[in-house]
């Protein structure tokens, strides 16, 4: 493999852009797993669901995929509230999160994937929008818009949520429930209601993440599984529930994956996230920014 500096620079840059997108994919899990301690392994499946909704709106109505995802946002929020309600009544209240709660989410992952296969088939689907295709050229560096737009949307989403969590009453209540549920109850707030809202928000982010996923790459139902390793690797490495940590971890993973893909071939990239995850778990399970 002959090494070229242009190739290297472009790989780093597209890795950074990719990493920004990974942060948007992870933020839902950073809320559900990192703050609420709900191991929602079905989250990637909801992201793919978001991709297919964007695809349907795009191919039937010619709507912009990201706009479509914003319209679908309330539906995802309600879906998340509903799932949390079932989860709470059936598992959390019984103290049975570990075995049956995990199996529940695994079942949801599986059902969503198979339902998508039955509806859309296993062909790769893609969307059309004006920013897919052209690139900005700065000297030897190419900035493809199909990566740049998701990057900006992703950082916007994360910034918005960060402001929401730190500035609003509800956001602070969510941070509080992550720290001490009983204390929140003593303050006269209902922790279950707060958690329901937080879980709704976490699923709602999947709508946007799904739309920018299908902008970046063609989608088929089973790619949800490739993202499980990535998402949880980023989430754990960033130190559960910390947004800045998550963004740094996502950018790091994006760069390493992009370099792997450029210099060893794209068929190796799925293993990178897992390698990161195992390494983090073995060396520093609290994450690089963990307390």
Q: Which residues bind to other proteins, rule: CB under 8 A?
A: 33, 39, 41, 86, 90-91, 94, 96, 98-104, 106-108, 110-111, 113-115, 117-118, 222, 225-226, 228-229, 232-233, 236, 265, 267-268, 270-271, 273-275, 277-278, 281-282, 285
Nearest to other proteins of 90, 135 (CB atom): 90
- Do residues 210 and 44 make contact, with C-beta atoms less than 8 angstroms apart? no
Q: How far is the CB of 93 from other proteins (least distance, A)?
A: 12
Nearest to other proteins of 244, 285 (CB atom): 285
144-162 b/e with 16+ CB inside 10 Å = b? bbbbbbbbebbeebbeebe
Opening angle at CA 48, ends 275 and 50, nearest 5: 135
Q: How far is the CB of 100 from other proteins (least distance, A)?
A: 4
Q: How far is the CB of 199 from other proteins (least distance, A)?
A: 16
Nearest to other proteins of 36, 66 (CB atom): 36
Nearest to other proteins of 156, 266 (CB atom): 266
Nearest CA to 193 out of 174, 166, 206 is that of 174
218 token code pair: 């063609």
- Percentages (nearest 5) of helix, strand, coil residues in the chain: 75, 5, 20
Q: How far is the CB of 117 from other proteins (least distance, A)?
A: 6
- Do residues 52 and 219 make contact, with C-beta atoms less than 8 angstroms apart? yes
Q: How far is the CB of 274 from other proteins (least distance, A)?
A: 4
């Amino acid at each position: 493999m002959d090494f070229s500096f242009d190739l290297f620079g472009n790989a780093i840059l597209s890795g950074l852009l990719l990493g920004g997108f990974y942060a948007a994919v992870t933020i839902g899990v950073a809320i559900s797993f990192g703050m609420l301690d709900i191991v929602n392994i079905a989250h990637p499946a909801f992201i793919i669901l978001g991709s297919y909704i964007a695809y349907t709106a795009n191919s039937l109505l010619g709507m912009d995929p990201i706009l479509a995802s914003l319209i679908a946002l309330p539906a995802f929020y309600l879906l998340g509230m509903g799932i949390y309600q079932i989860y709470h009544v059936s598992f959390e209240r019984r103290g049975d999160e570990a075995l049956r709660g995990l199996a529940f989410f695994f079942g949801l992952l599986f059902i969503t994937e198979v339902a998508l296969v039955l509806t859309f088939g296993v062909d790769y689907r893609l969307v059309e929008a004006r920013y897919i295709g052209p690139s900005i050229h700065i000297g030897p560096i190419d900035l493809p818009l199909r990566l740049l737009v998701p990057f900006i949307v992703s950082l916007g989403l994360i910034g918005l949520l960060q402001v929401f969590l730190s500035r609003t009453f509800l956001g602070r209540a969510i941070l509080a429930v992550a720290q001490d549920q009983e204390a929140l109850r003593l303050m006269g707030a209902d922790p279950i209601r707060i958690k329901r809202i937080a879980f709704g928000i976490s699923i709602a982010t999947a709508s946007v993440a799904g739309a920018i996923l299908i902008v970046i790459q063609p989608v088929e139902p089973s790619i949800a599984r490739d993202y499980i390793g990535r998402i949880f690797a980023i989430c754990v490495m960033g130190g559960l529930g910390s947004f800045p940590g998550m963004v740094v971890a996502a950018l790091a993973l994006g760069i390493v994956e992009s370099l792997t893909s450029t210099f060893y071939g794209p068929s190796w990239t799925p293993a990178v996230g897992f390698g990161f995850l195992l390494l983090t778990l073995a060396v520093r399970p609290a994450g690089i920014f963990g307390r």
